[in-house]
A and B are shown apart, each in its own frame.
Chain A
Amino acid sequence: MDFEFNAEQVAIRDTIRELVQDRVAPRAAEIDQTAEYPKDIEKLFAENGILGIPFPEEYGGISGSSVTICMGIEEIAKACASSSLILAVQALGSYPILVAGTEEQKKRLCPPLAAGEKVAAYALSEPGSGSDAGAMATRAKKYGDEYVLNGTKQFITHGSIAGTLVVFAQTNASDDHRGIAAFVLERETSPWKVEKLEHKLGIRGSPTAQIVLEDVKVPAANRLGDEGAGFKLALAVLDRSRPGIGAQALGIAEGAFAYALNYVKERQQFGQAIASFQGIQFMLADIATQIEAARHLVFQAATKVDNKAPDLTKIAAMAKLFASDMAMRVTTDCVQLLGGYGYISDYPVERMMRDAKITQIYEGTNQIQRVVIARALLR
């Protein structure tokens, strides 16, 4: 057993922590209120190598370890969940290339992403195909050495700002998931249309787009894996990215708790700090315990990803499920600890509570995580 980060990871974490404190935390409230994508923070992450974390050195990155990615997402999410998605979605959009790409594809497609010159995104969901990913209607038809894609993708995080978009599409006439393939679209050569941006409950600084593909041409050289291997790849990618969502949920909860803990020590009522009341103390103890449990599950799952462990699907789903449910409960309680101040936007915890909700929904709703876990148990 080893619950510690290695020296290299600690160094990366400390760098991120400092950048987050100095540059991200002061912007978080504004990012939420204006609902604008923080391009400045993307640039900051690019310049400091943070967007290189999802990639091994041979592809221009600095790590490629899921543990390090989760650690980075967690640190950023403590201050700003929207900004944490800049790293999380760079990882999500790159996994398909790293998992299924040929050496040529990895060498060609990864370095601009690792350098932060381009933003990556991942387009699986459709208006009629959310939890039921096999039912997708986007079509890819082959003409010579290129494919032509048509369809609509829904709830695509960073779909509007990405330079590299991994799209899943049907290559068969049938609706069978055995016809699904994955394609890498590069904006300059295979431009897609952004139909609309969603206004959301939380993570308001992270643009969520509906994307329309109208006769978009993609070179066959940008198909990842075989025709028909796409569905399996989509699931394999989600296995790898779910610990990251767990890490985001963990960071949100930790950020809210740090603020609330400080508040209850300072807030005086009945002539004493409210932290001196046992009712408050029990809440603090429960929150801290839940965070600690989630933290271990998240990093255990990340370790399983790095080790390609056989039970990685189950543990990754558990980490996402447990950490996101935990974050929802913990942030709701942190608003409660601040009382009326918790409910107004002069204080950060109501934002964190709104941000927490999506972690129970995206990258597979928590109902889907339960289906995945139960299936693994009953196999």
Chain B
Amino acid sequence: MDLELTPEHASFRATVRELAQGVVQPMAAEVDRDHRFPDEAINAAAEAGLMGVLIPREYGGAGLDALAFEICIEELAQACASTAVIVDVHTSVGTEPILLFGSEEQKKHWLPRLASGEMLGAFALTEPASGSDAASLKTTARRNGNGYVLNGAKVFITNIGRAAMYVVFARTGPEEKAAGVSAFLVPADAAGLRVGQIFQKMGLHGSPTGELVLEDVSVPVANRLGAEGQGFTVAMRALDSGRIGISGQALGIAQAAFDEARDLMRERGHEQGDDFALADMATRVASARLLAYQAAWLCSHGQPFTRQASMAKLHCTDTAMQVTLDALQIAGDEGARAGSPFERHMRDAKALQIYEGSNQVQRIVIARELLRG
């Protein structure tokens, strides 16, 4: 048993924290208010090598493990949840499919540019009629000579309009459900690819979310990731580790809300009612962090981690929702003012219970793992 971070992880956390608190945090309120992409924060993250945390050094990345990735997202989210989700989606579901399923040629082509931040990655699985039931997706990829022609519409795509490459899931075969799905690496400048509606959201205002429309988009066979029919496996495996990132994002938001509530109580005085709320908040965050680190540790050590990643995502995001609501309650009227960090944290936190598998889907995954014979 050893629940301390290694010196390497601790030192990595300190580095990310310095950047997050120094560069990212000061612009968080403005990014939220103006619904603007945090360019400066993403550029700073790229310069510090944070866009390629999980990518091996031979492909230009930092070559770090899942725990380092989790720590990176946690620190960024403590400063600005929008920045964190942009980096998270890029790093996990936007890049990891290539790391895990890409050919050597694909890795050499895409990874160095994703690692440097020259390219931003995104993940296009969800469709209007296919959310939790991802295997029912309808986007098609028709074989045509040396390539495929993609048609369909994707929704709720994070990094929409900013990504240079989308990992797109489409149906290549007549097979029902999961067996007919394949994954493709589609450059954003491909003819026929366009951005549809950009959604106005409750929170995460700095992170663009919207529709991706594919109309006769041609991609070469070289851009198919994995074998035909392997797409659903690619998606599910990417989401497993994506959940570690979302757990980190939830912990960062919860920690920020907790810290602000504690500072406010120190400043203005406190009675036992608020003391108890603060104690509950800290206890929830501490338990959630241990669960998230365990999932990351299992992943880093090549052990099965599906159940722990789902538990971490479920518990961390429910914790973030509860803690941000409690912190806002401690702050009262002042906290409900637009531009107050308290109301922003609460609006940001809600998305996390929904995306990368709603918490209902996490419960399905956990129960399935528990009941497996």
Chain A interface residues (CB < 8 Å from chain B):
125, 130-131, 154-155, 198-202, 268-271, 274, 277, 279-280, 328, 332, 335-336, 339-340, 342-346, 350, 353-354, 357-358, 360-362, 365-367, 370-371
Contacts and interface: CB of A to CB of B under 8 A. Distances in A.
B329 A342 contact: no
Contacts of B333: 125, 130, 154-155, 361-362
19 contacts: A198-B338, A200-B337, A268-B129, A270-B132, A270-B133, A270-B136, A279-B363, A280-B360, A335-B202, A340-B355, A343-B350, A344-B202, A353-B350, A358-B336, A361-B335, A362-B333, A365-B332, A367-B329, A370-B273
Contact of B354 (A155, A200, A279, A339): A339
Interface range, B side: 35 or more
Contact of A367 (B132, B274, B338): B274
A202 B336 contact: yes
Nearest to B331: A361
Contacts of A274: 132
Q: Which of A155, A344, A360 has the most CB of B within 10 A?
A: A344
A269 B321 CA distance: 26
B200 A361 contact: no
Interface of B: 126, 129-133, 136, 155-156, 199-203, 209, 273-274, 321, 325, 328-329, 332-333, 335-339, 343, 346-347, 350-351, 353-355, 358-360, 363-364
Contacts of B353: 336
A358 B331 CA distance: 12
Given A279-B364, A354-B347, A357-B346, A340 B332 contact: no
Contacts of A125: 333
Q: Which 7 A-B pairs have the closest CB atoms?
A: A199-B338, A269-B133, A201-B343, A350-B202, A345-B200, A344-B199, A340-B156
A336 B355 CA distance: 10
A350 B202 CA distance: 6
A339 B132 contact: yes
A360 B329 contact: yes
Contacts of A365: 329, 332
B336 A343 contact: no
Nearest to B129: A268
Contacts, number: 107
Contacts of A202: 336
A360 B335 CA distance: 12
Contact of A279 (B155, B202, B351, B360): B360
Contacts of A345: 199-202
Contact of B338 (A154, A201, A357, A362): A201
A200 B336 contact: yes
A355 B200 CA distance: 17
Contacts of A277: 360
B350 A201 contact: no
A353 B156 CA distance: 20
Contacts of B130: 269
Given A279-B364, A342-B354, A357 B199 contact: no
Contacts of B358: 336, 339
Contacts of A362: 333
Contacts of B339: 199
A353 B354 CA distance: 15
Nearest to B321: A332
Contacts of B336: 200-202, 357-358, 361
Contacts of B274: 367
Given A271-B136, A358-B336, 15 more contacts: A201-B337, A269-B133, A274-B132, A332-B321, A335-B354, A336-B358, A340-B126, A344-B201, A345-B202, A353-B202, A354-B347, A357-B328, A366-B329, A367-B273, A367-B329
A271 B177 CA distance: 11
